[in-house]
Structure 1
Amino acid sequence: MKSTLLIATYNWPAALELVLQSAKNQTQLPNEILIADDGSTQETKALIDLYAKTFTIPVKHIWQEDKGFRKSQILNKAIAQASGEYIIQVDGDCIMHRNFVKDHMAFANANQYLFGSRVNIQQPYLEVLFQKKQTNFGPFSKGIKKRTRAIHSKFLSGFYKEQDFFSKKFRGCNTSYFKSDFIAVNGYNEDITGWGREDSELMLRMHNKGVKARRLRYRGIVFHIWHKEKSKDRVEANNTIELKTISNKIDWATNGLDKYLNNA
């Protein structure tokens, strides 16, 4: 089964470099990497062009003009172009454990999406992180908190089973799903702009469609680089959309993916 690693980014090339390096270090490479760029400057493009030459797999940069936070739109545009049957999704500030892709592929099952753990790299450690360009972390590494999330254990991960409800522990920066399930709900809802609810609303529609969830605890780990919080001025409006999805059991985004599929 072909896989696509999808990385969402915006104007932080120093962080993206570490994420791309962690992609190179994977014990199992994806079949392709797509970088969904919500309007970064030329510096990010130059970095991606440089790294693309060092990979043995295709690396594709999908860019749109910076008109504010439009993550739902750029992710739809990128996934429309994905050749992989299975999408593994991270953010451009999340360094991947070296077994990240392997873990997601090992647990990929029909009619199910996965969500993994996020370990936070703390603000005081950022100077060291970027100076060393560190991509290797474990439960005893400096600069992290909630260390148990960094434990990688095949045995312990087996205690987490499939569930038919949405978990509050879900994070869109560490998830995977079949492209066919994404298409079936028409992808991200582009009425959701600004920070917040775009990922959870997508998965709630998948649940309404009958797709189940499985948590990848102790497997599929990412290390999230600290950054200032983004503006939350759209959270209330986005939350209203999500609540409507829940109450009306909506499973299709009217303003979604389909507009890009014919052009892919």
Structure 2
Amino acid sequence: MNRASVVVSFFNNLSALKLILSALNLQSIKDFEVVIADDGSKPEIVKDISKLLSRYSFSIKHVWHEDKGFRKNEILNKAILVSNTEYIIFMDGDCIPHISFVADHLKFAKKKRIVAGRRVMMSERLSAKVSEDFIRNKKLFSLRFFVELLLDSFIKKSRYVESALFIPISFINKLFGNYKRGVKGCNFSLYKSGLLAVNGFDMRYKLPCVGEDTDIEYRLKLLNYEVFLPKFRLIQYHLYHKLQSRDGVETNKVILAETIKNKKIKAALGINQLP
């Protein structure tokens, strides 16, 4: 029986998805499923994904809806409903997980807890080095590549390189862990029961930023959830791309402010409102 569902937010970037699936295929534990939450990729991409579904050691579900603009929260809610486990790990389609990523999330899982991590922001040059073979040969997770990241950071190309340091010692992870930092939508997990208790993600957010992390974190905290970031674990490598527009931040802040003002636990437009 699978212990976790890894939900990968996805839109059209098939090459990045293949890298992610290659890394998931190397995970130190194998009892998990993957749900691709596809926010309207092109038909040819959907067809290509169908060819990938049986290539890996884990089961894959592909949840898709038509492209009608940014509807990430809606497809995440649909992914939650099709998941077959009680624990959900969320990640973005431009972040490659460390080989201990799934095990790390499960290790620190607790009722009433959001387990959260960060990501290493790789430069364009280092991102270009990452291929399926590079991952299969575990070069991405090697000391040599960490040194490359470190040197690259000195010229301010790669960032947050300290987040690539892997120290699998629970005492240290907890001692230097953090309960005060917030959730990033690219790297967090919790029990499905918590997601259902707050009616999932709020689908009123139609633009990126805030809606898929800050909003649901706030509502879960109203139910006395804690956020815990274990140090030196939950590693992700972010593939370089141009920054997406942040035009929606102010619009989204209005929705968030209304949620905070009214102390809303359940999403106004969430899982229970899906057609």
Q: TM-score, normalised by structure 2?
A: 0.87
The structure whose residues are more often strand, as a share, is 1
> Which of residues 134, 140, 158 is equivalent to 2:147?
140
- Match for residue 191 of structure 1? 204
CA distance in 2, matches of 1:3, 1:22: 16
Q: CA deviation at 1:128?
A: 2.5
- Match for residue 253 of structure 1? 267
Identity, in percent, stands at 31
Q: CA deviation at 1:45?
A: 2.3
Query: Which segments of structure 1 move beyond 3 Å, counting only runs of 4 or more?
Result: 130-135, 141-145, 160-163
Q: CA deviation at 1:229?
A: 1.8
Deviates more, 1:212-221 or 1:98-107: 212-221
SS at match of 2:34: strand
SS at match of 1:87: strand
- Match for residue 21 of structure 1? 22
- Match for residue 258 of structure 2? 244
Q: CA deviation at 1:200?
A: 1.2
CA distance in 2, matches of 1:191, 1:30: 34
Q: CA deviation at 1:208?
A: 1.1
| Contact 2:101-2:234 within 8 A present in 1 as well | yes
SS at match of 2:130: helix
Q: Is the alpha carbon distance of 1:125 and 1:154 closer, same or farther for their aligned partners in structure 2, counting shifts above 3 Å?
A: closer
Q: CA deviation at 1:247?
A: 3.2
Q: CA deviation at 1:30?
A: 4.2
Letter in 2 for 1:249: K
Deviates more, 1:217-226 or 1:180-189: 217-226
Q: Is the alpha carbon distance of 1:12 and 1:179 closer, same or farther for their aligned partners in structure 2, counting shifts above 3 Å?
A: same
Q: How do 1:112-261 residues align onto structure 2 when only pairs under 5 Å count?
A: 112-130=113-131, 133-134=134-135, 136-138=140-142, 139-142=146-149, 144-155=158-169, 156-160=172-176, 163=179, 167-168=181-182, 170-198=183-211, 199-260=213-274
| Contact 1:4-1:30 within 8 A present in 2 as well | no
| Contact 1:18-1:133 within 8 A present in 2 as well | no
Q: What is the CA deviation profile of residues 148-200 of structure 1, one whole-angstrom value per residue up to 9, with x for unaligned ones?
A: 2111113331214574x6x24x3110000110000000000000111111121
Q: Is the alpha carbon distance of 1:29 and 1:206 closer, same or farther for their aligned partners in structure 2, counting shifts above 3 Å?
A: same
| Contact 2:119-2:160 within 8 A present in 1 as well | no
Letter in 2 for 1:97: H
Q: What is the CA deviation profile of residues 128-156 of structure 1, one whole-angstrom value per residue up to 9, with x for unaligned ones?
A: 22486546235324464332211111333
Equivalent pairs counted in the alignment come to 258
Q: CA deviation at 1:81?
A: 1.1
Deviates more, 1:25-34 or 1:136-145: 136-145
- Match for residue 6 of structure 1? 7
Which stretches in structure 2 are left out of the alignment for 5+ residues?
Answer: 153-157
| Contact 2:105-2:234 within 8 A present in 1 as well | yes
Q: CA deviation at 1:234?
A: 1.9
| Contact 2:25-2:57 within 8 A present in 1 as well | no
Which stretches in structure 1 are left out of the alignment for 5+ residues?
Answer: none
Q: TM-score, normalised by structure 1?
A: 0.90
Q: Does 1:97 align with 2:98?
A: yes
CA distance in 1, matches of 2:246, 2:84: 34
Q: Does 1:44 align with 2:45?
A: yes
